[in-house]
Structure 1
Amino acid sequence: MSKTKVLNLKDKIDGNEMDLSLSNLTEVPVKELAAFPKVTVLDLSCNNITSLPLEFCSLSHLVKVDLSKNLLTVLPDDLGRLSNLKHLDLYNNKLTILPVSFSQLKNLKWLDLKDNPLEDNLAKAAGDCLDEKQCKQCAARVLQHMRILQEEVDKERERRLLKEKEQEKKKEAKQREREAKEREARKRQKAEAKEKKRKEYSAQLAAQTEQEQKMKRAEEKKRRIDQIAADKKNAPDSVPKARRFSLIGLLFKLLLLLLLGLAGIVGVCQLTRLKEESVCVPINVALGDGITWVQEQEVGVRVSELVQEVDIRAKVLLQKVSSLAPHFLKPLGVAPATTGTEPVETVEN
């Protein structure tokens, strides 16, 4: 409202009463009314008000309010905040129900709800309001009815809250269960990942160990090959040379044995009774031919001396061999010669 209209409100005040009836109002000037806290009686009857704003419930200083003959269809939910309200006239409006907070109007002593399309239970509780007594009874019965509704509403709210709490608990339980499953799944995944890493590490370690062993074997093989090559390189002729020396020594020994054997056979055929045997005849003939050839060649005295020396040494050798004659002559079936009893013929020069 404008400042002019605010000044006009002051003209509507008479003591603690303000008369705004028949003012053709469609809204309640709550802000302007709040400027007059000493006004406890407010007459808004015979206007075109369809609803009360929520701010109207803040005018807790009001004691008597007349809203009869308006177009109200509903009252604000916080109407119970008008804690000092004692007298309320709602005659001839379009109300069907009252807000549950109506039960909080503990100081309400007078109420008129005639000529409203109230629901059956509320209309039955309100009854008639034809005189002061009936209006007081209406206030008491409606307050009682609204208290019952308030209790039902409170119970319903409690049931709803309890249900919501149960649903919340179930939701929390499901959430905890889901979180527990997720934690278990994460734990299992971590364990599986750890086991996988452990297996991979073991496999990697085994592969590394096998690779090291292969490298070690390859190095050892290479070292052996290098050693063999080095040995072959450092001593290429040692083995053949040693073999040549051993072969020459063996041939020399065989030749020496052969010469000794021939000398022994010649000595046996010359110095024993076997010289007449057919086995020794060719040997003796060959030996005689050889000596004759030497003599015919007119070799010097040195050769004769050498022959004599060889003859002497042959005799000594035959004497040593004679001790072994039984073993040598036994396969031939010849009796061994007795040295010292029979003369031994010498080879003449």
Structure 2
Amino acid sequence: MSKGKVLNLKDKINGNEMDLSLCNLSEVPVKELAALRKATVLDLSCNNITSLPPDFCKLTHLIRVDLSKNQLASLPDDLGNLCNLQHLDLYNNKLTGLPVSFSQLRNLKWLDLKDNPLETELAKAAGDCLDEKQCKQCASKVLLHMKEVQEEVDKAREKRFLKEREQEKKKEAKKREREAKEREVRKQEKAEEKERRRKEYQAQLDATAAQEHQRKKKEEKKKRNGLAADKKAAEESAPKPRRSLIGLLFKLLLLLLLGLAGAAAACQLTELRREAACVPVNAALETGLTWARRQDVLLRQLLKDWSTMAKELLESSQTAKN
């Protein structure tokens, strides 16, 4: 059916019935049908429809739908939204199953599923549908079967949800455990860092104490060396009083000699030589001069002898060389 013909659906309406059978349709004109809400009976039989669009489930005003003799292999998941649907003909399609939401069609009174490759359990619930009574029984039995399927699906979903929740709890527990381990590791690292800083600080204190101890030892050694030097200096300076005494005695002796020389000069050169005090002085001076003259003669004789000996020695040396 062309788009132009689809847009002229009003020509297909007869009261509350919309007859689109034998129109060679491959798609359902949902948008146009949604605008014609008075058409509660829809006949789409004998077409080439392979699937129903999801929006088909929004046609909640439908009471009776005929989809027999099409190519439907499946129905929309939200088919249960057709809450007012009472009569559904799915004869001679390619359906193997029904959506779980089918159990929500509480107003469904008539159902035909003949000539579909239904799965075993669903086919057993559907029955033969050879007459009105069997089609009504098919509707009730299939709804009951689909409710059981819904319950199983809900149980499976609940089980899956619980499993996912348990897995999520395990993941959360693992996450908390991992975070706790990470916190413990960080705590341990902080403790190790604190201990390392404490050891460094203690090492600095020990080094400072060692330096201070070394400095005190050096000071004590220096002090001991100073005391030893002072003692040595004291010991070395101790004889100085004796040397000073000797010097003093030497000076006194020199002064005495000078005094004697002065007295001797006075006794020789002045009028004092006739005095009684100068007599011993002059006598001692004469005696000394006499001794000195004798020593001079002896010295001259000694020098003469040494000169003679040197001359003889020189001559004998020259003779030996020749």
- Residues 200, 244 of structure 1: CA spacing in aligned structure 2 closer, same or farther, 3 A cutoff? closer
Q: How far 1:219 sits from its partner (Å)? A: 6.9
> Normalising by the residue count of structure 2, what TM-score does the alignment of the two structures yield?
0.69
CA distance in 2, matches of 1:87, 1:244: 149
Q: Is 1:24 the counterpart of 2:20 in the alignment?
A: no
Matching residue of 1:270: none
| 2:103 corresponding residue in structure 1 | 103
Deviation of the 1:210 alpha carbon: 2.7
Residues 83-232 of structure 1 aligned to structure 2 (within 5 Å): 83-215=83-215
Given candidates 229, 240, 244, the residue that maps to 2:240 is 244
The 1-side partners of 2:214 and 2:156 are apart by 84
What's the offset of the Cα at 1:242?
Answer: 6.6
Matches of 1:241 and 1:217, distance apart in 2: 29
How many residue pairs match? The answer is 255
2:281 matched residue in structure 1? none
Q: Is the 8 A contact 2:103 2:147 kept in 1?
A: yes
The gaps in structure 1 that reach 5 residues or longer are: 254-298, 304-349
Does structure 1 conserve the Cα–Cα contact (< 8 Å) formed by 2:6 and 2:29? no
Aligned partners of 1:224 and 1:102: how far apart in 2? 113
What is aligned with 1:336?
none
**How far off its partner does 1:157 sit?**
0.9
**Map of 2:66 onto structure 1:** 66
Once the two structures are TM-superposed, the CA of residue 58 in structure 1 deviates from its matched residue by: 1.2
State the 1:215 CA deviation.
5.0
TM-superposed CA distance for 1:8, in Å, is: 1.4
Which residue in 2 is equivalent to 1:11? Answer: 11
Q: What TM-score do the two structures reach when normalised by structure 1?
A: 0.64
Counterpart CA distance in 2 for 1:241 and 1:180 is 83
* Counterpart residue number, 2:256: none
Q: Secondary structure at the match of 2:8?
A: helix
Give the gaps of 5 or more residues in structure 2: 250-273, 279-322
Displacement of 1:3 after TM fit? Answer: 6.8
Amino acid in structure 2 at the alignment position of 1:112 = D
The CA deviation at 1:23 is 0.6
Matches within 5 A, 1:328-343: none
Please report how far the alpha carbon of residue 149 of structure 1 lies from its aligned counterpart in structure 2 after TM superposition.
0.7
Displacement, 1:239?
Answer: 8.5
Shift of 1:167: 1.4
User: How many percent identity over aligned positions?
Assistant: 70
Q: Structure 2: how far apart are the matches of 1:94 and 1:202?
A: 88
Q: Deviations over 1:310-332 (max 9, x none)?
A: xxxxxxxxxxxxxxxxxxxxxxx
SS at match of 1:37: coil
Distance 2:189 2:127 in 1: 74
> For 1:65, what is the secondary structure of its paired residue?
strand
Deviates more, 1:9-18 or 1:112-121: 9-18
Give the secondary-structure state (helix, strand or coil) at the position aligned to 1:198: helix
Distance 1:196 1:34 in 2: 79
Q: Which residue of 2 aligns with 1:334?
A: none
Q: How far 1:60 moved relative to its partner?
A: 1.1
Alpha-carbon separation, structure 2, partners of 1:80 and 1:28: 18
Measure, in 2, the Cα distance between the counterparts of 1:76 and 1:104. 13
> Counterparts of 1:252-331 in structure 2 under 5 Å?
none
User: Quick one: distance in 2 between partners of 1:52 and 1:154?
Assistant: 25
AA aligned opposite 1:74? S
Q: Which residue of 2 aligns with 1:38?
A: 38
Give the equivalent residue in structure 2 for 1:329: none
Q: 1:14 to 1:210 in 2, by over 3 A?
A: same
Q: CA deviation at 1:63?
A: 0.9
Cα distance in structure 1, aligned partners of 2:30 and 2:214: 100
Evaluate the alpha carbon distance shift between residue 6 and residue 96 of structure 1 in structure 2; reply closer, same or farther with a 3 A threshold: closer
CA deviation map 1:273-326 (0-9, x unaligned): xxxxxxxxxxxxxxxxxxxxxxxxxx97669xxxxxxxxxxxxxxxxxxxxxxx
Higher relative helix content: 2
Tell me, in whole angstroms, the C-alpha distance in 1 between the residues paired with 2:93 and 2:111.
13
**Pair 209,118 (structure 1): closer, same or farther in 2 beyond 3 Å:** same
Moved more, 55-64 or 4-13: 4-13
C-alpha deviation, 1:141, in angstroms: 0.3
The verdict on how the C-alpha distance between 1:8 and 1:227 changes in structure 2, with shifts beyond 3 A counting, is farther
How big is each residue's C-alpha offset from its partner over 1:99-135, in whole Å with a ceiling of 9 and x where there is no partner?
A: 1111011111110001111111111100121222111
2:72 equivalent to 1:80: no
CA separation of 1:215 and 1:15: change in aligned 2, threshold 3 A: farther
